[in-house]
Structure 1
């Protein structure tokens, strides 16, 4: 995680990847990060405002909803969000 920053939302997908929000730090880093099960950074989704939370949804649980400070974003992913046990 970039310093300083805070992650508020954390979700996992069915492949064991961890998706987390990043905000309240460097504005160039605001968005979502995806980490492999071993902790390696897989990718970033940059959002033009502070991100607080996120969740998977949609009929196939492959749409990632991202809550910004004033907006709601949605992107389709190639993975499905994991169900709660």
Structure 2
């Protein structure tokens, strides 16, 4: 059991829990993920020639949709475009 001095505040008293802000942040994050998925799906509908003009392929888009471990879909597609530009 921890004792606190009369002038100290407990850790629980110092942290402000704002559940409404957390809910709004969660909703904003969900909307952003949905917008990214929609954009990636629309890229999948493009034909091979248009994707080649953009420097990506259908496989790159599929990889971007499955991006994990700190990699964002944008990072995956930018790396694919960079590889395409070098070749």
Bin of the TM-score, shorter chain as denominator length: under 0.3
Higher strand share: 1
Higher helix share: 2
Higher relative contact order (CA 8 A, sep 6+): 1
When the two structures are superposed, what TM-score results if normalisation uses the length of structure 1? 0.21
When the two structures are superposed, what TM-score results if normalisation uses the length of structure 2? 0.21
